[in-house]
Amino acid sequence: MIRVRATSGANESLKRARRLLKYPRLCRRTGTTLAEGLHLAGELCKHPELIRTIFIREGADRNHELRAVLGKLEHLNIYLLELPAAHFASICPVENGAGIVCEISTPVPQEQVGHGDIVFLDGVSDPGNAGSIIRLSLAAGVSTIAVSDQCAYIWGPKVLRAGMGAHFFCRFIFGKSLKSIKEESGNQCLVADARGGKDLFAENWGERPTIWVFGNEGAGVSQDSLQNSDITLLIPIDRRVESLNVASAASVCLFEQRRRRLLKSAT
C-alpha cells in the first residue's frame, strides 16, 4: 500500500470520489462506488480485489480497529490517501463516521436468474430503504435481489452503507422484467400491497420458491407487478396506521415466510 498525505482539494482521486458520492448514476456508469465505515472495510478484507483506493481522515488510524483493517490490506498495490478532516468530509456520506472510505469496483451483475427465492425491488427509490431491504433479505435467507430500472442504484454509496456488508453475499439481477424473472425461475410471485390483498398471516401460499415484490415508497407497486402477481398480500396492521415503511413491510413478509419454513422443517 502506498501511503500519501493529500492536502489539496484538487487531488484527482479526491475529486473522483466526490463525484461518485454526488452522482450515483456515475457509479453505475463507471462500475465504481464508495464504501464507508469500518464494517464495510472489514468485509472488503475478504474481497481485496475490489478495492481501488483507500481514503482515511487524518489521525483516524489511531483507532486500533481501523489500524487492524489497514494491516490486513497492507499487501495491496493501491494508494492510501490521508486527508484533512474537511476534505474527508466531502467524500463521506455520514457525519462523524469512522474515518475510512474505500473506492471499490462493483461486482459484475448476474445474467442468470438461478434457483431459490428472489426479492424484486419495484421502484424502491430511497437508498436507505433499498440497503435495509438487501440486508434484511439476506437475514431472512434470500440472497438473490432483482431490481427495476426505477430503483435507487443498488451499489450507490448510501445504499451500500445501509446494506452493512450484505451486498457481498447477494446476487444482483439488473435489466430483467418481473415477467421474465418469473418465467425463468418458475417461482410464484407474491406482491405486498398496502392498498389491498389477502391477509399475509392467514393466506397459505404453499411451499414453492417465491418472488417477493416490494414497491415504491409513495406510489407502491406498479401495475406490471400486480398483473404478474400470483397472490397479492396485505399486512393486517392497526387501522390507526395508514401503512408501513417499505423496509418494515419487507421485513414482516420475509420473516413470516422464514417462520413458516422453520416450523415446517421442525415437524
Mean pLDDT of 183-190: 95
Domain map of the chain by residue range?
A: 2-105, 118-266
Average pLDDT, the chain: 93
Of the options 3.40.1280.10, 3.30.470.20, 1.10.3720.10, 3.40.710.10, the CATH number for the domain spanning 118-266 = 3.40.1280.10
Q: Which CATH number fits domain 2-105: 3.30.2290.10, 3.40.50.850, 3.30.1330.30, 3.40.50.2300?
A: 3.30.1330.30
Q: What is the pLDDT of residues 59-107, one digit of tens each?
A: 988 899 999 999 999 999 999 999 999 999 999 878 778 899 999 999 8
CA–CA separation, 173 and 97 (whole Å): 30
- What does the pLDDT read at residue 111? 77
